[in-house]
Amino acid sequence: MKLRVLFFAALREQMKLSQADYEFDNDATPSSVAKQLLGFDSSLLFAVNDEVVPRDHELRDGDVLAFIPPVAGG
């Protein structure tokens, strides 16, 4: 399936891009995608189509997956 992946803050700098489209196996999860692209999944939250989801969320073709590093607002 095809996914668009969004990168923010430190992850955007690590990947040197803010978003990109990728092809993954149909059983991919936010956690498995993070491990493939970043090499880790710890300390991250995940959003799919702008809603926070569990790390084992079932992804679908065309989803927009965002990796959310620890926030620091305020």
Residues at the site binding other proteins, with contacts judged by CB under 8 A:
6, 8-10, 12, 38-40, 42-43, 47, 50-52, 66, 68-74
Residue 9 and residue 69 in contact, taking contact as beta carbons nearer than 8 Å: yes
What are the structure tokens assigned to 65, written together?
Answer: 């997956």
Residue 23 or 51 having the CB closest to other proteins: 51
Torsion angles phi and psi, residue 3, rounded to 5 = -130, 145
Residue 23 or 73 having the CB closest to other proteins: 73
Taking the complex as a whole, the smallest distance from the CB of residue 58 to other proteins amounts, in Å, to 20
Residue 26 or 42 having the CB closest to other proteins: 42
What is the residue type of 2?
K
Taking the complex as a whole, the smallest distance from the CB of residue 25 to other proteins amounts, in Å, to 23
Residue 1 and residue 23 in contact, taking contact as beta carbons nearer than 8 Å: yes
